[in-house]
Chains A and B, each alone.
Chain A
Amino acid sequence: MCALCGVLGEAGHWTDAPARPGVFTRNVDSLQRRRERIHRAACAQTVLGFYGLTLSDWQGTSYVLSTATGKTEIVDNPTHLWAAAEKLIGRPCDPLDPALVRRLEAGHE
């Protein structure tokens, strides 16, 4: 969904840009794409754990974001991840939050 106007539709994401000459992307072939999706879910999980959320890849097409009590959101791409996370936990997900930063610095992911 477009963050500006709320119109539904795939917005795409800069980290997942279609492969074009000169554009840096790992969205090149199915193997790389799959590997990158799994790595992305693992990276995001290191942060989402702070909020009690888990993220997993679903069929190589979407991500499943869940709370410990089983509330679940389907996330199409990284654009929507943090909005979905905030919806599930009911508070902002702020990368500058000192508590989150301290946790990552301490290695508790």
Chain B
Amino acid sequence: MSESTARQFIPVNLVTGFLGSGKTTLLQRLLPDPALADAAVLINELGEVGLDHHLMGRIDDTMILLPSGCLCCTIRGELSSSIKELYSRRERGLVPAFRRLIVESTGLADPFPILSTVQADPVLRHHFRLGNVITTVDAVNGLKRPESLKQVAVADRLVLTKTDLQADCSALVGELRRINPDAPLWRAAEQTIDAATLFDDEPRSPLRALPATVDAPHGSIRSFALAFEGSLDWTMFGVWLTMLLHRHGQSVLRVKGILNVAGTPTPVAIHGVQHLVHPPVHMAAWPDADHRSRLVFVVDGLEQSAIERSLAAFLRPAARMRTAVA
């Protein structure tokens, strides 16, 4: 996506993480950063009385509180309405022309419906685009709940919080890397967190350094990488992935990769979260000398061998079709 096009769409960043993992503290720390001076914030709190927004130190017209329930399941319509209302006020000049929207979800929220709302809503998708998903992980309590595993799996950025209270985080970092091998990770207590980097305006960061194989289960959640020699048929790949996500979307927590597409000299980056796949990004160049198609899956309960064999089988007929046409 070019810079000019990126400007036309307001990025929506989701800040997620389990209850008490420091989402609000992180935002409180980052919001004074000039990089977020033109950001609107939408906070979702579970419970009748919202408190988090009082901790933000900034209550203004571009800060909205959704207090009536968990964002993922009960008030998705309210999320959509709130964003539309905020955009309407922006267009009428009633609030500053914010250029970024940050949504802080409740700790129990499944990130997928929130992302899907932004991408699928007929109005929102013409004005907003998905930005990075930032997930906070509590270094003391780790990944004890299924909700937090999913939040980590879909993250583009990971922030390890309370690292000052937990000296040795190596085991937890290992767990995070098994679920999400490529998201940049910050240690909140020791490292300076640059808001501009965390909320990077680039669309979907393409894979730069995928591990050859990642295969270590965390419960039923596992991540693995596939690599394919030669170019592949884009259309057949689309048929396969659409079918896979239709049947197993709930179990494909994340799929991300760069593809060597037949007839296209530069790679195509894809990025999906459960049933949702972002518009594919046509990269300007290969990131390195390795021109194989590479895919990383984070799945819950699916077998790597079954996915790999299925994709290879689907691509065979298309390869034959291409040969016949050539």
Given contacts A2-B120, A13-B242, A15-B242, 6 further A-B contacts (CB under 8 A): A4-B275, A23-B1, A24-B234, A83-B246, A96-B306, A104-B317
Residues of A within 8 A of B261 (CB): 24
Q: Which of B229-249 contact A (CB under 8 A)?
A: 233-236, 238-240, 242-244, 246-248
How far, in Å, is B114 (CB) from chain A's closest CB?
11
Of B45-53, B210-218, B219-227, B278-286, the one touching chain A = B278-286
Residues of A within 8 A of B318 (CB): 43, 46
Say yes or no for B82: interface residue by CB 8 A criterion. no
Q: Which of A34-50 contact B (CB under 8 A)?
A: 36, 39-40, 42-44, 46-47
How far, in Å, is B93 (CB) from chain A's closest CB?
27
Q: Which of A68-109 contact B (CB under 8 A)?
A: 78-79, 81-83, 92-96, 100-102, 104-105, 107, 109
Instruction: Assess the B120–A4 pair: CB atoms within 8 A.
Output: yes
Say yes or no for A9: interface residue by CB 8 A criterion. yes
12 contacts between A and B (CB under 8 A): A9-B122, A14-B272, A15-B238, A21-B4, A23-B1, A24-B279, A78-B242, A93-B247, A95-B247, A96-B247, A96-B302, A101-B313
How many A-B pairs have beta carbons closer than 8 Å: the answer is: 122
Say yes or no for A31: interface residue by CB 8 A criterion. no
Instruction: Assess the B239–A47 pair: CB atoms within 8 A.
Output: yes
Say yes or no for A6: interface residue by CB 8 A criterion. no
Residues of A within 8 A of B5 (CB): 20-22
Give the contact-size bracket for chain B. Answer: 35 or more
**What is the predominant secondary structure among interface residues of chain B facing chain A?**
helix
Residues of B within 8 A of A21 (CB): 1-2, 4-5
Instruction: Assess the A107–B314 pair: CB atoms within 8 A.
Output: no
CB 8 Å contact bits of A51-79 with B (1 = contact, 0 = none):
00000000000000000000000000011
A2, A23, A96: which contacts B281 (Cβ < 8 A)? Answer: A23
Residues of A within 8 A of B242 (CB): 13, 15, 78-79, 81-82
Question: Cα distance A14–B276 when bound, in Å?
Answer: 9
Question: Cα distance A57–B113 when bound, in Å?
Answer: 32
Residues of B within 8 A of A46 (CB): 236, 317-318
Say yes or no for B145: interface residue by CB 8 A criterion. no
Given contacts A3-B275, A4-B116, A15-B238, contact A104 B122 (CB under 8 A): no
Q: Which of A12-33 contact B (CB under 8 A)?
A: 12-15, 17, 20-26
